[in-house]
Structure 1
Amino acid sequence: MSTHGDALTAAGWHPGRDVGDLAMSAALMTAAVVPPVAGTRGWTLFPAAREALREFHGLTLSPVAAGAGVAATGCVVDPREARHALRAFRALGDTIGEDVFPLGRTDADGLMGVTESGSLLCVDHGGHWLLGDSVADGLRALTRGRAPRRIAPRRWTWAAPATHEDPLENAVRTALVGVYVLHHRQLFGARALRLTVTALRGIGAEVLDHAVPLPGGSLDELAGPLAARMRQLVDAARTPLPGCALTVTVSAPDGTAAPYSSVSCAVRVGHSAAAPTAAELSLAAGAGTALGRPWRAVHECARDLARYAGASGEAEPETT
């Protein structure tokens, strides 16, 4: 274990370091390796990867501490060490909406990659991880044992307040709060609410699943007409609401880019026999929102919804 305070400096890094020819040679050798992965293209050397390799290629880092949150580990920065991970990095890139280029390998055999926005990621037997928002920050976190952030779907839940005596209209009004929050935090502008009714008896079959477009006008004015339209759908399906769970979902419209397309807000009522009028408010976000601005935007949404629900603070999300 190094006694130096900074693993990068101890490994020979310094501000302005540039090993251009060596880095580009290693990058070209990496890009030349295209594993037989059907239906996918090869490696793409984008600017953030090129800059990271010119600055850090060839460094061998050692741990500088026992580890603050997890065991500290060293690594080698050489893209050839992870050049066979095209399938894993391509799948991860599809999840986060950015290309990933190999950067090296950790002493624990984790494969490191850099994203188009410059973040440092790692894929290992335990899953997908964000080591740092920059390569330097990620390498220091690794060698200091700072816990990485898991790149995985998350879900927050709260008990929603009762704003109307009719459970269906209460669900619609709460869902419209979600519409406002998602738009205000610049994730997307919803165009419809989806009504789903599920029978609680037997195998829990869906008896109704229908999207109801959002008309123009203020959200306060829309609640009554939307609830009335949903009531018509329930009546037309001859579905008695007692004995059913009703969910109103705010999803990203078609054409929304990843990772925001994975975000949704939902309100569920009737799911509890003990409290059939109780409403549950939830926010779900896919694995791709674990990085950068999407991470901050989703957490801002979670804080807004927590305040609306009267929670003392942002709930700890579940990961799957």
Structure 2
Amino acid sequence: MSLSTKDADRFGAFVPRLEAIAYRLLGSASEAEDAVQDAFLRWQAADVERIEVPEAWLTKVLTNLCLNQLSSARVRRETYVGQWLPEPLLAGDSMLGPADTAEQRESVSYAVLVLMERLSPNERAVYVLREAFEYPHREIAEILDITEAASQQIFHRARKHVADGKARTEIDEAAAKRIVEEFLAAATTGRTEPLVRLLTADAIAIGDGGGKVPARAKAFEGALAVAKFMRGLFKPSEAKRALIGGSPEVYIATANGAPAVVAVLKGQVIGVLCPEVTTEGIAAFRNQVNPDKLERASRRWAADGHGEPLFNAF
């Protein structure tokens, strides 16, 4: 069925919100884009004049597309090479969605996206729709074809799972940035002791290379192990430069609402390191180096202005 320009424009008005929902549900910008495109195909095939509330109709279609995707993703990730981590988004990306409340900001933080991987598809959907987009349980129940009471129960269960996973309290962005800067300065000295002092005792470091870039699948665990790894990561090496074709520039930017370390080589983002900074110290480093999950970040980086790099790695 052909779609009028008016109806195509009506759909276009909802795209930013739909993409923001899909990204939170899937943890992948490219998969979110595909889900929104599939929603458009269903809009195109529908008798849109008979759709009384387009936003509600599209949200239901999109959410169910994402639920199907999440179910199949669990199977696909069993064969994923190494550790699967979400795709980071740099500041200003429209896919990050609303950030007016603390709940909305937290729902798209990198640490929470990682935690949401532990939720069932239905738990994730209810949590995202309620926490990030403030849908009433009555509407969530209609979207998911469940009762309103079930939606409330699922939400409380999902919220508890996320809260239990975030046992420590994160700090504000400005303070977190100062700690990350201090850590990077210490990492480039080649000394381990200053790094250990900035970490929690049970800190972890893990990376996602997707089988395309070397990344340790098993996490480094404990402050000393993480400190040694981070010290080695920034240690100059001719072998590292030869492996990636140069010496990347290192910046501190913002990804998913928090300070992140961005490595750029010849204008392309080749790594986004997301620290989880808490009141007790840095609890985790999650490093996304899979090039398939950095394409959108590279486009955003090219579109934005940025200052001088802190230093050149390797």
Please say whether Structure 1 and Structure 2 have the same fold, judged by a TM-score greater than 0.5. Answer: no
Q: Which has the higher strand share?
A: 1
Greater CA radius of gyration, 1 or 2?
1
| TM-score of the two chains, using structure 2 as the length reference | 0.24
| TM-score of the two chains, using structure 1 as the length reference | 0.24
Q: Which has the higher contact order (CA 8 A, sep 6+)?
A: 2
Q: Which has the higher helix share?
A: 2
